[in-house]
C-alpha cells in the first residue's frame, strides 16, 4: 500500500513534513514504516484501498480521523511514538506504521531560568509558545490568553466576568 500526500487549499498550510514517497509500498502484507507528524499540526494521507477499521495505539500522542474510506488525517497531540493500523474490509492490514510526533523547532527560542523553561516562537517578533514542560504559570497564562483570543474570534466579544455583574 502506498500513501499519497494530499495538499489542498487552506489545509496545505497545516500539512508539514516529509514527503510520503519514502514510506514505501505495502503489497501483500503491511510493513511498519515511520511517519513524522509535528505537534499541533495535521497531515493528510490517501490510501489506495478503502479502510474498514482504523486502530491507533495511543490516542494521547496522535489523533486519527477517517475523512472518507480513502483519506486519513493524523494530528500530533503530544510528543512521542505510537502506531497506526488500518485494516481493509477483509480485516487484512493495509497500513501498519509508526507515528512519531515531533516538535517543530524552526524559529523557536527556549529560555531556561534555573529550573524554569519558557518557549517563544520568533518569526520575526517573539511571542509566547505553549510547550509541555514550560514553567507552569507561564504555560497557564499563555493558555488563558489563547482561549480569550479564540473566544473573541468566535463570538466577536469576550464573555463578561462575574466582577462586571456587580
pTM of the model: 0.59
Determine contact, residues 61/78, Cβ cutoff 8 Å: yes
> Could you report the per-residue pLDDT of 91-104, keeping only the tens digit for each?
999 999 999 998 87
> Could you report the per-residue pLDDT of 4-56, keeping only the tens digit for each?
444 333 233 222 222 333 333 333 344 568 999 998 899 999 998 999 999 99
- Taken in order of first residue, the domains within the chain and their CATH numbers are 33-102 (2.60.40.1080), 108-155 (no CATH)
Distance, in Å, from the CA atom of 116 to the CA atom of 64, rounded to the nearest integer, reads 33
Q: Give the cell for residue 62.
A: 496522535
DSSP string, 27-95: -SS----EEEEEBT-EEEEE-SS--SEEEES-TTTEEEEEEETTEEEEEE-SSEEEEEEEE-TTS-EEE
Q: Is omega for the bond preceding 23 within 30 degrees of 0, making it cis?
A: no
Amino acid at each position: 500500500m502506498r500513501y499519497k500526500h494530499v495538499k489542498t487549499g487552506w489545509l496545505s498550510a497545516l500539512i508539514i513534513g516529509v514527503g510520503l514517497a519514502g514510506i514505501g509500498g505495502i503489497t501483500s502484507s503491511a510493513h511498519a514504516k515511520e511517519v513524522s507528524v509535528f505537534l499541533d499540526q495535521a497531515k493528510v494521507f490517501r490510501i489506495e484501498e478503502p479502510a474498514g477499521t482504523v486502530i491507533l495505539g495511543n490516542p494521547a500522542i496522535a489523533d486519527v480521523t477517517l475523512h472518507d474510506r480513502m483519506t486519513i488525517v493524523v494530528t500530533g497531540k503530544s510528543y512521542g511514538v505510537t502506531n497506526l493500523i488500518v485494516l481493509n474490509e477483509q480485516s487484512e492490514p493495509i497500513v501498519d506504521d509508526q507515528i512519531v510526533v515531533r516538535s517543530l523547532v524552526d524559529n523557536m527560542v527556549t529560555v531556561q531560568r534555573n529550573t524554569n523553561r519558557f518557549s517563544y516562537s520568533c518569526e520575526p517578533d517573539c511571542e509566547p509558545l505553549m510547550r509541555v514542560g514550560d514553567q507552569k504559570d507561564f504555560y497557564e497564562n499563555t493558555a488563558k490568553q489563547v482561549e480569550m483570543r479564540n473566544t473573541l474570534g468566535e463570538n466577536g466579544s469576550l464573555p463578561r466576568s462575574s466582577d462586571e455583574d456587580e
